[in-house]
A and B are shown apart, each in its own frame.
Chain A
């Protein structure tokens, strides 16, 4: 386990560098919420998901839906590091004619199951996939990542009701609970806690974890896969901008990329962290 978490953590920090570089080069994009969910996505794509980048439409694959589509830098990073496309293409993020659109678009870029960006829509889609898999008697599973600001969207609560009511147990929802949204603290805009109580009453199996602890993340996915007759909701407490000191908990970096100087500092910090990890 320790070796595996070390492997995942190193991967996640390498991809943190990609997130910084992609958004800096594009001079736009959403680094904060990408850095908060990259550890979760790394666990999914490099340990949990049954998928085949060589054959993206493999019948038996698990599905992943990025409902918070603005975390596309994190999503594209795990896709390219998994082998869906060359890492070099990450440089084209948000450029004209790029397959790496500002928000993920279903089409030519394999691995993107559906278009997301306008918030609140991913869970209904994940439900539909999970119901379809059940109809087909498939054992594949569906994972859906939500943002905590996104949880203000009414459609998500429609979908949460559907998943609980229909006992969609091949579904695992992960909430990237980084507590910040563009206009400030989520709890100041609209109180979301007590999240565990709310989601339990909507008939979910609810787990709450440290979203940057790789063992906890893997354990939670493992519990989710063994849970029957209830969908699982993992509330992952995370830090917006995680991994770069001056970006952590700094709402500025929700939708603003680091400038060239900040980028240099950020990359240096991450490299330092990577050297530490490799020494351990």
Chain B
């Protein structure tokens, strides 16, 4: 199985865009080697601003740059790029509809050894709550490329969540994405997995594992969590009658909550939210942590079977 880094892909895509478009600038908060904005900084230093460990200042400076016609990409880890500067994103960026792109890496628990302080599991909740903000979580490197190109082109605030770990490749290299549309990767009959980020691949694997137990699972990748593609989700809900959302994020206010509120007015369908259960992360290796939190394909499949049996009995 081929795995590719979303961060590398971000850095390369951003550099390519900046080569073509002189309006593109990048900002970082002392993590450019990790977020890969360093690729741009090495080739085009005059359009790179390392703000030091000062995320609030970074968001404000990015906002100011956008007011003079530049297209700023501000990057750091998910925890610092959202919670640390929430009010700056709220007021300077979102109320003002500033053309600022916040692309964070190290979302979720697969940050690994750094532990709870660095494992951001509330960022999707924070960012989807903000009016005017659009929220993308790509499922592999090729989708990441498409997302970065899209947000550079579209006016207004965007939040993109990437991860530290490499992701298995799901899509063809040259796929033409319709990012606003939830993507049905596998058709199914009696259960729908709705996932985002790394969990999309894990759900595809879980769906395979379910075959023997009489569950033909549909798998949908929601890359655009806000705006969310209600139509695709509702029609799948009506078709299979059972939904399992899976995310590397708190179950309190993440993808699951967005899906639930998207369907509840039109479809009465039992929904199980799989994610981090209202708690913080902990140190460990990424693979160990996925198992520990029940986000590996086996655990997902097991929870889906239990849920299916409980509801269908």
A128 to B58, CA, bound (A): 9
Question: Which residue in B54, B63, B95 is a CB contact (below 8 Å) of A128?
Answer: B63
- Known A115-B92, A155-B88, A158-B56; judge A125-B70 contact (CB<8 A): no
Other 19 A-B pairs with CB < 8 A, given A105-B95, A120-B56, A133-B68: A106-B98, A107-B96, A107-B97, A114-B67, A115-B92, A116-B91, A124-B59, A124-B60, A124-B92, A125-B64, A126-B64, A127-B61, A129-B67, A131-B61, A132-B70, A135-B68, A136-B69, A155-B54, A162-B54
Within 8 A of A (CB), among B29-80: 46-47, 49, 51-52, 54, 56-70, 72
- Chain A residues with Cβ under 8 A from B92's Cβ? 114-115, 121, 124-125
Main secondary structure of the interface of B (DSSP, over half): helix
A118 to B56, CA, bound (A): 13
Main secondary structure of the interface of A (DSSP, over half): helix
Q: Are A63 and B67 in contact (CB under 8 A)?
A: yes
Contact with B along A46-63 (1 / 0, CB 8 A): 000000000000000001
Q: Are A125 and B61 in contact (CB under 8 A)?
A: yes
- Chain A residues with Cβ under 8 A from B68's Cβ? 128-129, 132-133, 135-136, 138
Q: How many A-B residue pairs have CB under 8 A?
A: 110
Q: Residue B21 at the A interface, CB < 8 A?
A: no
A125 to B54, CA, bound (A): 14
Q: Are B69 and A124 in contact (CB under 8 A)?
A: no
A128 to B93, CA, bound (A): 13
Q: Are A123 and B60 in contact (CB under 8 A)?
A: yes
Interface size bucket, A side? 20 to 34
A131 to B63, CA, bound (A): 11
Q: Residue A161 at the B interface, CB < 8 A?
A: yes
Contact with B along A152-166 (1 / 0, CB 8 A): 001100110110000
Within 8 A of B (CB), among A172-189: none
B75 to chain A, nearest CB (A): 15
Contact with B along A98-123 (1 / 0, CB 8 A): 00000001110000011111101111
Closest B residue, CB atoms, query A136:
B68
Q: Residue A266 at the B interface, CB < 8 A?
A: no
A161 to B88, CA, bound (A): 18
Q: Are B65 and A129 in contact (CB under 8 A)?
A: yes
Q: Are A132 and B57 in contact (CB under 8 A)?
A: no
Interface size bucket, B side? 20 to 34
Q: What would be 25 A-B contacts, judged by CB atoms less than 8 Å apart?
A: A63-B67, A106-B96, A106-B98, A115-B95, A117-B91, A121-B56, A121-B87, A121-B88, A123-B60, A124-B92, A125-B61, A127-B57, A127-B61, A127-B64, A128-B68, A128-B72, A131-B49, A131-B61, A133-B68, A135-B70, A138-B68, A155-B60, A159-B60, A162-B57, A162-B61
Q: Are B67 and A124 in contact (CB under 8 A)?
A: no
Binding site for B on A (CB under 8 A): 63, 105-107, 113-118, 120-133, 135-136, 138, 154-155, 158-159, 161-162
- Chain B residues with Cβ under 8 A from A115's Cβ? 91-92, 95-96
Q: Are A128 and B88 in contact (CB under 8 A)?
A: no
